[in-house]
């Protein structure tokens, strides 16, 4: 990999690498009535016991915008499995989106008090969205000789944030009507957000000069510190900032109505709020035009391929970032659910929901669910979900109680991994005590 590719790789890898943590699109857990997973998605859901202890749990979702599967990344070579980057690049669209969400449920407690259901808990949350052009991947892994005489744009855009969430949820039943609300205090751990992502490279077809144009602006707090092209400092310690100066408030609202003995309707709005970033918050700006003409023509004439060697100090001139103080804000991704659940008999329930990642319902997902009860203490379920551009979202769920101990698990996407239809992984695993 020549120096130009190394530069582009370094410039983009810092953004892609922090995406370890998606808007959350969860289907099956909504129908796990009586568990804290269901109450997390609709606070009007009544607690199953008089006292509930929320033990640690985790929810993870990772989604790529187009039909990239594990078989595009991993291929067979004899009896070995190898990474296949060419297959991955061929599957990319002109513009690609990579979403990730991670929620770690650490501890919580719920209890019934004078007709109210109350819970308090702590979560650790990470969210990221990366948008990048296909040309970025091609430049990194295939070089820039394919773009001689052309201008190619390669700037990715990122929206990443992580935070601690402390919540107080309260719900109340009024006959067949349940109403709930949750207040959440948010303590920001860190964020990175791209304000402008214009970056391009032109390779002259006559004298093979390299012309870079950049108008790239990043904001960051407690996560990224850029001291130079060869010095990107990351801080990914999520065990700090439990009560930071970067903070905010959010709300969840939920309602459900028991129409009759068999039918229940419900709706919820989650994450109405934002985080303000004031402490250790900086803006990094790379803006300008730079032409590098240090190419050795004789070397080109004696070789079949073009290799552009760019020195590190030249790269420093091209992508020099200036740093300034800034105050930023992250608006949480608001989510909405509309659902209905019908009890066919004592053993079988069916349900359906509509999900939107904003209050305008501009882009929706649809989920269908069926559950079967195994005795009084366990149930299994099957759910199907449709997301934009993704049809093969078949998931499983399970919940069981052994004495006071409760365990539940859910995945909304199981078959896409095996059918190689789409990279879309998600799942939840949780534990609790119910008395």
Residue 360 contacts by C-beta under 8 Å, 6 or more apart in sequence? none
Is 57 a residue whose pLDDT tops 90? yes
Q: Which two tokens stand for residue 295?
A: 């190419």
Distance CA 58, CA 112 (A): 25
Segment among 14-28, 31-45, 161-175 with least mean pLDDT: 14-28
Q: What are the backbone angles phi and psi of residue 44, rounded to the nearest 5°?
A: -75, -10
**Across residues 2-30, what is the average pLDDT?**
53
Residue whose structure tokens are 């059918």: 419
pLDDT value at position 370?
96
pLDDT value at position 272?
95
β strands within 145-279, DSSP E: 151-153, 157-174, 177-203, 210-221, 224-228, 231-234, 247-258, 263-277
Question: Residue 361: left (phi > 0), alpha (psi -120 to 50), or beta?
Answer: left
pTM score: 0.83
- Determine the Cα angle at 104 with ends 336 and 264, to 5°: 35
Distance CA 324, CA 374 (A): 61
Is 339 a residue whose pLDDT tops 90? yes
Which of 1, 45, 21 is CA-nearest to residue 238?
Answer: 21
Instruction: Read off the pLDDT band of 53 (50, 70, 90).
Output: very high
Max mean pLDDT among 128-132, 219-223, 314-318 falls in: 128-132
Which of 272, 271, 258, 287 is CA-nearest to residue 26?
Answer: 271
- Interaxial angle between packed helices 3-17 and 134-142, expressed in degrees from 0 to 180 and rounded to the nearest 10: 130
Distance CA 117, CA 94 (A): 49
Chain centroid, CA 235 distance in Å: 19
pLDDT value at position 317?
64
Instruction: Read off the pLDDT band of 307 (50, 70, 90).
Output: very low
Q: What are the backbone angles phi and psi of residue 83, rounded to the nearest 5°?
A: -75, 135
Task: Find out whether 158 and 234 touch, Cβ atoms under 8 Å.
Answer: no
Distance CA 282, CA 84 (A): 38
Instruction: Read off the pLDDT band of 313 (50, 70, 90).
Output: low
If 0-12 CB within 10 Å is exposed, 13-18 middle and 19+ buried, where does residue 261 land?
A: exposed
Distance CA 211, CA 289 (A): 7
Segment among 169-178, 267-276, 391-400 with least mean pLDDT: 391-400
- The percent helix, strand, coil of the chain (3-state, each to 5) is 15, 55, 30
Please give the residue that has the higher pLDDT: either 209 or 109. 109
pLDDT value at position 1?
46
pLDDT value at position 6?
43
pLDDT value at position 68?
61
Distance CA 351, CA 221 (A): 42
């Amino acid at each position: 990999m020549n120096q130009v590719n190394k530069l582009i790789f370094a410039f983009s890898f810092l953004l892609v690498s922090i995406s370890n943590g998606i808007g959350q699109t969860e289907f099956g857990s909504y129908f796990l009535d009586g568990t804290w997973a269901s109450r997390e998605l609709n606070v009007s859901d009544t607690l199953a016991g008089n006292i509930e202890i929320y033990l640690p749990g985790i929810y993870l979702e990772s989604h790529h915008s187009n039909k990239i599967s594990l078989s595009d990344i991993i291929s067979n070579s004899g009896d070995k499995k190898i990474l296949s980057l060419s297959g991955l690049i061929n599957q990319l669209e002109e513009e690609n989106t990579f979403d990730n969400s991670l929620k770690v449920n650490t501890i919580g407690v719920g209890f019934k008090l004078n007709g109210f259901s109350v819970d308090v808990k702590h979560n650790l949350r990470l969210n990221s969205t990366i948008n990048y052009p296909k040309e970025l991947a091609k430049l990194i892994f295939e070089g820039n000789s394919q773009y001689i005489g052309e201008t190619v744009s390669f700037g990715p855009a990122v929206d990443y944030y992580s935070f601690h969430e402390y919540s107080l949820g309260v719900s109340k039943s009024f006959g067949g009507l349940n109403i709930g609300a949750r207040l959440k205090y948010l303590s920001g751990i860190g964020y990175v957000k791209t304000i402008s992502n214009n970056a391009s490279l032109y390779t002259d077809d006559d004298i093979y000069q390299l012309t870079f144009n950049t108008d790239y602006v990043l904001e960051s707090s407690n996560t990224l510190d850029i001291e130079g092209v060869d010095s990107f400092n990351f801080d990914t310690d999520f065990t700090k900032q439990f009560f930071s100066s970067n903070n905010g408030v959010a709300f969840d609202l939920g309602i459900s109505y028991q129409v009759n003995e068999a039918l229940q309707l419900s709706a919820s709005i989650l994450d109405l709020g934002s985080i303000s970033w004031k402490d250790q918050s900086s803006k990094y700006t790379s803006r300008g035009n730079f032409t590098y003409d240090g190419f050795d023509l004789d070397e080109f004439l004696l070789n079949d391929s073009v290799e552009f060697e760019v020195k590190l100090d030249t790269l420093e001139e091209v992508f020099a970032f200036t740093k300034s103080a800034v105050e930023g804000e992250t608006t949480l991704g608001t989510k909405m659910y509309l659902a209905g659940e019908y009890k066919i008999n004592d053993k079988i329930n069916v349900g359906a929901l509509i999900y939107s990642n904003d209050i305008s319902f501009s882009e929706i997902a649809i989920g269908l669910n069926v559950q079967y009860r195994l005795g009084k203490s366990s149930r299994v379920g099957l759910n199907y979900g449709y997301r934009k551009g993704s049809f093969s979202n078949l998931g499983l769920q399970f919940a069981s109680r052994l004495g006071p101990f409760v365990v539940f698990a859910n995945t909304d996407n199981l078959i896409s991994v095996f059918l190689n239809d789409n990279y879309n992984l998600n799942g939840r695993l949780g534990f609790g005590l119910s008395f």
